[in-house]
C-alpha cells in the first residue's frame, strides 16, 4: 500500500504555480564562506521567477543551515545525530521539496543520501568533488556537479610532470575522502610520491585550531627538499599552510586543489604563483557569464545580505569562485526543468532530463551525465594565481594557463582530453 504510481498522486513540491526545491548548506560555522554558493543559486532562481518562472511556475528555494554537518552549540539538533540529516528530514517531510539542488559537503551529503533515496527524493548537483555521487546503480536519483578529486589529481599530475620534471613532490591532504581521493588521483596520473611525504592532517583542524601537525608536515617536506607541494585543503587551511611554510622559509611550487584555492577566500598574498585547477574562466577572460551574473546580482534585492563582501568588503564588485559556481548550478537546474515542459515536472522526469541535457555552463569543460556516470564536470582549466596590480581588481586572481582539460574517468587508463576554450552561450530564457 506504500507509494503508488500514476498521475493520481501529485508530485511533492510541485503545484500549479510553484516548484519547491531545497538544500542543506553551511551558512554558519567553519565552512560558512561556502554559503555564497547556494546564495548564487538563489540569485538565479530569483531572476527566473521575476521573469515569469519556468513554464509558468516560480521556483521556491529553501536553504537550511547544517553547519557543515558539524555538531555545534545551537546548531540544528533534533533527529538522528547529524545536523544535515535533521535539516534534510525537515526539507523532505515538512517543506516537501521536489528535489535537492546544490547541497554542499562530502561528509554532510554522505550522511543523507540513503535517506533521500529511501524517500525517493532526487538529489541534484551535490557540491563536492567526492566520487560518492557517482553510484548510479545504487543511487539513481543522486547527481554530483564538480569534477571528482581523482580526476582533478590526474590533471594536476600531468601538469607537474610536464612542467616540473624530476621534482620531489609532497602532498598535504585533509585526512578524509578529499585528501585520499586527491592523492589517488595524483598517483593515477603517474606521479611518484615518496611515502613519507603523503602527509595528512585532520579535517577537524579547521574546527579546533590545532595546527601543530601541519607545521610538522612542512618541516618534514622541507628537510626532504620537496620542490612541489600539492594541497588538498579548504581555504582557511590553505592560507594557514602558506603562512606556516613561509615561517620556515620554505617556498616550493604550490599546487592547490580547486576547493581550497579561490583567491578571495584564501586571502593571502603568499598564494600568488600557485597552480590550481579552475573550472571557470574567471575573471580575466571576458566571459558573457560574468557580465550576466553581475547583472543578476545588481537586480536582486536580497543579494546585499548574501554577498556582503561583494558590496562592501575589500574586494567589492569582485565575483569570486563560489558565486560563479553557484550561478552555474542554478542555471543548469533551470535548464533541466525547462526541458520538461509544463506537464512533465515529475521526479522521474527530472532524473531523465539530467541525463539527456547537455548543460550550458560557464565552465570550459562539458557538464553531462549518463546512465553510468553521475559525476558531473570531468575536469577544468589549469590556472595560475597572480597578484593584480590594478587597484580596481581583486589583489589576486586565477589566470588561465591554456586549454580546458578533462577526463572520462578516474582510473589511470582513462586519458585526459584537452580542448580549446569554448564557453557555451547563455540560454535565451536566462538572458
Binding to another protein in span 234-293, by CB under 8 A:
235-236, 239-240, 243, 246-250, 265-268
Residue window 115-134: x/- pattern of binding to another protein, with contact defined by CB under 8 A: x--xxx--------------
Q: What span, in angstroms and rounded, lies between the C-alpha atoms of 338 and 352?
A: 13
Positions in 183-202 near another protein (CB under 8 A): 199-202
Interface stretch with another protein, choices 152-160, 173-181, 186-194, 392-400 (CB under 8 A): 173-181
Indicate which single residue of 49, 135, 168, 215 sits in contact with another protein (rule: CB under 8 A).
Answer: 215
Positions in 385-414 near another protein (CB under 8 A): none
C-beta closer to another protein: residue 311 or 429: 311
DSSP-assigned beta bridge partners for residue 367: 359, 377
Least distance from another protein to the Cβ atom of residue 379, Å: 24
219 touching another protein, by CB under 8 A: yes
Helices 321-338 and 35-50 cross at an angle (nearest 10°) of 40
- Please, what sign has the CA dihedral across residues 339, 340, 346, 351? negative
- Edge-to-edge strands of the sheet including 99-101? 58-65, 18-25, 99-101, 123-126, 142-144
Residue window 28-67: x/- pattern of binding to another protein, with contact defined by CB under 8 A: x-x-xx-x---x--x--------------------x-x--
Q: What span, in angstroms and rounded, lies between the C-alpha atoms of 313 and 38?
A: 19
C-beta closer to another protein: residue 24 or 361: 24
C-beta closer to another protein: residue 81 or 291: 81
Contact in structure between 134 and 375 (CB atoms under 8 Å): yes
C-beta closer to another protein: residue 120 or 419: 120
**Coil, strand or helix: which one is 205?**
helix
Cell numbers of 136, please?
Answer: 548510479
369 touching another protein, by CB under 8 A: no
Indicate which single residue of 40, 48, 59, 107 sits in contact with another protein (rule: CB under 8 A).
Answer: 107
In a 13 Å sphere around the CA of 358, the CA atoms on its Cβ side amount to 6
Residue window 60-99: x/- pattern of binding to another protein, with contact defined by CB under 8 A: ---x-x---xxxxxxxxxxxxxx--xx--xx-xxx-----
Least distance from another protein to the Cβ atom of residue 321, Å: 14
Does an H or E element contain 270, and which?
A: none
The site that binds another protein (CB under 8 A) totals a number of residues, namely 90
C-beta closer to another protein: residue 69 or 258: 69
- Edge-to-edge strands of the sheet including 228-232? 198-201, 169-174, 228-232, 253-256, 275-278, 379-387, 396-407, 416-419
Closest by CA to 247, choosing from 224, 213, 275, 270, is 270
Positions in 309-338 near another protein (CB under 8 A): 309, 313
Closest by CA to 38, choosing from 380, 308, 306, is 306
C-beta closer to another protein: residue 128 or 378: 128
Contact in structure between 158 and 134 (CB atoms under 8 Å): no
Least distance from another protein to the Cβ atom of residue 406, Å: 26
Least distance from another protein to the Cβ atom of residue 159, Å: 27
C-beta closer to another protein: residue 215 or 285: 215
C-beta closer to another protein: residue 107 or 430: 107
User: 365: Cβ–Cβ under 8 A, 6 or more apart, which residues?
Assistant: 147, 279, 377, 378, 379, 380, 381, 404, 405, 406
Least distance from another protein to the Cβ atom of residue 396, Å: 13
Least distance from another protein to the Cβ atom of residue 391, Å: 17
C-beta closer to another protein: residue 258 or 365: 258
Closest by CA to 23, choosing from 94, 93, 125, is 125
Amino acid at each position: 500500500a506504500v507509494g503508488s504510481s500514476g498521475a493520481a498522486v501529485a508530485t511533492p513540491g510541485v503545484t500549479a504555480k510553484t516548484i519547491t526545491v531545497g538544500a542543506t548548506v553551511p551558512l554558519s560555522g567553519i565552512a560558512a564562506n561556502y554559503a555564497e554558493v547556494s546564495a548564487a543559486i538563489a540569485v538565479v532562481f530569483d531572476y527566473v521567477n521575476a521573469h515569469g518562472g519556468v513554464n509558468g511556475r516560480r521556483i521556491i528555494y529553501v536553504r537550511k543551515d547544517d553547519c557543515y554537518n558539524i555538531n555545534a552549540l545551537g546548531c540544528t539538533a533534533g533527529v538522528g545525530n547529524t545536523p544535515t540529516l535533521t535539516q534534510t528530514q525537515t526539507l523532505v517531510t515538512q517543506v516537501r521539496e521536489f528535489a535537492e539542488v546544490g547541497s554542499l559537503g562530502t561528509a554532510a551529503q554522505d550522511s543523507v543520501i540513503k535517506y533521500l533515496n529511501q524517500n525517493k527524493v532526487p538529489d541534484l548537483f551535490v557540491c563536492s568533488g567526492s566520487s560518492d555521487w557517482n553510484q548510479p546503480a545504487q543511487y539513481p536519483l543522486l547527481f554530483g556537479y564538480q569534477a571528482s578529486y581523482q580526476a582533478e589529481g590526474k590533471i594536476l599530475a600531468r601538469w607537474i610532470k610536464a612542467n616540473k620534471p624530476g621534482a620531489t613532490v609532497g602532498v598535504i591532504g585533509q585526512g578524509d575522502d578529499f585528501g585520499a581521493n586527491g592523492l589517488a588521483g595524483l598517483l593515477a596520473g603517474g606521479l611518484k610520491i615518496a611515502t613519507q611525504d603523503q602527509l595528512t592532517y585532520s579535517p577537524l583542524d579547521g574546527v579546533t585550531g590545532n595546527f601543530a601537525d601541519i607545521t610538522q608536515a612542512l618541516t618534514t617536506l622541507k628537510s626532504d627538499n620537496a620542490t612541489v607541494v600539492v594541497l588538498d585543503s579548504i581555504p582557511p587551511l590553505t592560507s594557514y599552510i602558506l603562512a606556516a611554510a613561509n615561517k620556515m622559509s620554505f617556498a616550493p611550487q604550490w599546487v592547490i586543489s580547486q576547493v581550497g584555492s579561490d583567491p578571495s577566500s584564501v586571502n593571502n598574498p603568499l598564494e600568488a604563483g600557485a597552480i590550481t585547477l579552475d573550472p571557470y574562466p574567471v575573471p580575466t577572460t571576458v566571459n558573457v557569464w560574468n557580465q550576466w551574473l553581475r547583472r543578476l546580482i545588481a537586480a536582486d534585492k536580497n543579494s546585499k545580505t548574501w554577498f556582503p563582501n561583494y558590496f562592501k568588503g575589500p574586494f567589492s564588485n569582485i565575483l569570486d569562485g563560489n558565486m560563479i559556481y553557484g550561478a552555474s548550478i542554478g542555471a543548469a537546474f533551470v535548464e533541466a526543468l525547462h526541458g520538461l515542459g509544463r506537464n512533465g515536472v515529475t521526479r522521474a522526469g527530472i532524473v531523465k532530463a539530467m541525463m539527456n541535457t547537455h548543460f550550458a555552463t560557464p565552465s570550459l569543460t562539458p557538464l553531462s551525465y549518463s546512465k553510468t556516470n553521475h559525476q558531473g564536470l570531468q575536469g577544468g582549466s589549469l590556472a595560475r594565481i597572480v597578484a593584480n596590480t590594478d587597484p580596481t581588481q581583486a589583489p589576486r586572481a586565477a589566470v588561465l594557463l591554456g586549454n580546458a582539460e578533462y577526463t572520462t574517468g578516474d582510473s589511470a587508463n582513462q586519458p585526459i582530453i584537452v580542448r580549446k576554450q569554448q564557453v557555451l552561450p547563455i540560454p535565451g530564457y536566462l538572458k
